[in-house]
Amino acid sequence: DTAVSQTPKYLVTQMGNDKSIKCEQNLGHDTMYWYKQDSKKFLKIMFSYNNKELIINETVPNRFSPKSPDKAHLNLHINSLELGDSAVYFCASSERGGGPPRETQYFGPGTRLLVL
Partner 1 sequence: EDQVTQSPEALRLQEGESSSLNCSYTVSGLRGLFWYRQDPGKGPEFLFTLYSAGEEKEKERLKATLTKKESFLHITAPKPEDSATYLCAVRGPAGNMLTFGGGTRLMVKP
- Give the binding site for partner 1 (CB under 8 A): 4, 31, 33, 40-45, 48, 50, 55-56, 58, 90, 92, 94, 96, 100-101, 103-110
* Closer residue to partner 1 (CB): 50 or 75: 50
* Minimum distance of partner 1 from residue 16's CB (angstroms): 28
* Closer residue to partner 1 (CB): 54 or 116: 54
Query: Across the strands, what pairs with 32?
Result: 49, 93
Kindly provide the b/e burial profile for residues 34-67, where b requires at least 16 CB atoms within 10 angstroms of the residue's own CB: bbbeeeeeeeeebbbbbeeeeeeeeebeeebebe
